[in-house]
Chain A
Amino acid sequence: MTSENRLGAAAREPVDIKAEMRRAVDALHSQTHKKDSMTSDLSIDEELNLHAIGWEPVELVCGVSLYSVPMGVWNWGQGEITWASAAYAHAFEGAIARIHRECSKAGGHGVVGVQVERSIHRHHIDVTLLGTAVRPVGAKRVDAAQVFVSDLSARDFTLLQVSGWQPLGLAVGASFVYAPRRSLGTAMQQKSQNVELTNFTEAMYTARESAMERMQSSALGMAGTGVVEVKVTEGPMDFARHAVGFAAWGTVVRLAGDSHRTLQPSMVVPLDDAVPAFEATALRGK
């Protein structure tokens, strides 16, 4: 079996799981098989997917950054809250830079399955990234600048690679705006009318498009051709309901070779009823 992708290869012989369990228990009585240990938050399914395309997990890595927002920024105003938008971008840049360094130090070529956590407070914006560094099996270290970061799961990363595409990094765009006010006269006049609130429409439209444009610019800056698995969040701030934030992020991709590799999925009809999967961690009660 080579490390090249073999789509639709014949199924392996059924495994005698009882014999494998006994063989595994015997391993406890012997020396440790590998010298270099790895840490990973991937499930066994995800790890098997990676190994199927010749990649392996290396280390659990993280990146954290907090960027301050000066006092008074969230007060009533007009247009975009540029300091908040800039702080959001800087917080992401700082977190991505740190996770790049951790990945490179551990010997990884990229980070997959990144959990992106953002929290926006009145005076600071926090970004936390946590994922597993991965690399082609046996590959040498690369510089931090060559590392990619992606919030795609290992399964989706596998599918992307099989299709001939490669992830380049996380593209991020955000825009924070003041919800525009109407004059008292206009508000009174429109109170009993069926009318479009054009000031709201234009402001929200502009803000959303700004966030998407910044994400797209970020992707172009990485020489990518597209962004996949885009997540969009929007809503007013808990501490300032008149301020609305729009954020979008996704994984930048481009073709690794000359052309896309078309997959031919098979149609299947499951014959078993869907059963809830048991998660032992759910018993933690948190």
Chain B
Amino acid sequence: MADPAPDLPEAANRRFASGAFTSGLTVPDFAACLQMGLEPVGYVQGFCVMQWGWYGVNSPYRRGLSPYGGGQGGYMESWQCPHGFVSAEHRSWGQNYQQSWVEEAWGQGFGSAYSRMLEEAEALGAHGVVGVVDTSDRLGDLGVLEFHVRGTAVKVDDAPGPPGGQPWTTYLAGQRLAKLVEAGYMPVSVAASVSSVRVWAYCMTEYLLEGTNSSWGVAQAGAEITQVASAQMAARQIARERVRSQMAGDSLHGAEMAVSDRELGAGDQEIQCVLRGNRVRRFKDFDPMPVPHPTVKLS
């Protein structure tokens, strides 16, 4: 085991030095890991509680000055009112834009928790971390999120340590990891990213979402709510591109996308998309399998 890490909690260092290993693996996954030559050395985890403030004078983004975004780079689309009149109650202009400060704060929180998990793994002299689970939960106030990343640190029998000393990581464990390796892929790291898109609705979006696009009391036919549809597509595309930018030529396998939206006012909403997956690298040319033989179970 490596020297105790100076910035880990004392209890973590005591736990690592106890001589017994811990793991989050089920018994079948534990057996499968041993079969692959992976020796569990300890259950490792990292935490981070993040608060991000993007409005107000202390915000580095100086967002309190205007409700409209843009100017921060990234995705932005604008819509103009088709009615041609100006009124204090008529939203003559709308915008979708990427909230990069939310994405960076999430990335900082996840990255901190992830790197702390790796720190624990390195303290154990691990080569990799399998069965990674990451969660983010709200803690009390709006804008405060706890990131928790954990997994089982393993050593590979008769193999050199990872390049640069940083363990490889994967969401997979046991049989699924064995199948991945047998198929010719090596896990490099878990990949996760978030995208946040803000919708400031213009008049047509507001009317269509409220069903009030009538003329002189006569309901008009429905129409596609293009502003929100564009924002929803953009949130997913941005998350995918952000994760892809982490790949450096590797592939994302077993991806999982979770999208949530929060209504902030009449027609206004914030859309968040979290994309997770395993970054994998092909280490051998693919040898196509014969077509699987269909079977019927008799019990």
Contact = CB atoms under 8 A, between A and B. Distances in A.
A191 interface: no
A22 B159 contact: yes
B133 A64 contact: no
A62 B209 contact: no
A49 B183 CA distance: 11
Interface string A51-72: 1111000011011111111111
A188 interface: no
B271 to A, nearest CB: 10
A184 interface: no
Interface in B243-296: 243-244, 247-257, 259, 275, 277, 281-284, 286-296
B201 interface: no
A38 B297 contact: no
Nearest to B293: A8
Interface string A250-286: 0000000000000101111110000100101101111
B254 to A, nearest CB: 6
Interface residues of A, number: 87
A32 interface: yes
B47 interface: no
B250 A67 contact: no
Interface stretch (A82-90, A194-202, A217-225): A82-90
A179 B67 CA distance: 45
B221 interface: yes
A266 B293 contact: yes
B176 interface: yes
Nearest to B207: A68
A85 B287 CA distance: 49
Interface stretch (A23-31, A144-152, A170-178): A23-31
B4 to A, nearest CB: 26
Interface in B216-257: 219-225, 228-229, 232-233, 236-237, 240, 243-244, 247-257
Nearest to B178: A17
B299 A265 contact: no
Q: Which of B236, B237, B256 has the most CB of A within 10 A?
A: B236
Contact of B183 (A39, A44, A53): A44
Interface in B200-219: 208-214, 219
Contact of A28 (B168, B219, B228, B297): B168
Given A18-B36, A18-B157, A281-B133, A27 B186 contact: yes
Contacts of B132: 280
A117 B275 CA distance: 17
Interface string A159-187: 10010000000000000000000000000
B233 A3 contact: no
A122 interface: yes
Given A44-B179, A275-B28, A98 B233 contact: yes
Interface stretch (A123-131, A203-211, A228-236, A241-249): A123-131
B182 interface: yes
A142 interface: no
B66 interface: no
B31 to A, nearest CB: 12
Nearest to A263: B294
A120 interface: no
Contact of B131 (A33, A42, A69, A280): A280
Contacts of B131: 280
A246 B233 CA distance: 27
Contacts of B214: 70-71
Interface string B171-206: 111101011111101101000000000000000000
Interface in B115-167: 127, 131-135, 156-160, 162-163
Given A22-B156, A29-B160, A158 B288 contact: no
A66 B227 CA distance: 9
A48 interface: yes
Interface of B: 24, 26, 28-29, 35-38, 127, 131-135, 156-160, 162-163, 168, 171-174, 176, 178-183, 185-186, 188, 208-214, 219-225, 228-229, 232-233, 236-237, 240, 243-244, 247-257, 259, 275, 277, 281-284, 286-299
Given A39-B251, A284-B133, 9 more contacts: A36-B249, A39-B244, A39-B277, A40-B252, A66-B228, A70-B211, A71-B211, A73-B211, A98-B229
23 contacts: A22-B37, A22-B159, A25-B162, A43-B176, A44-B253, A48-B289, A52-B292, A54-B288, A66-B228, A67-B224, A71-B219, A90-B222, A122-B211, A265-B293, A266-B296, A268-B297, A268-B298, A269-B299, A270-B299, A278-B28, A280-B131, A280-B132, A285-B135
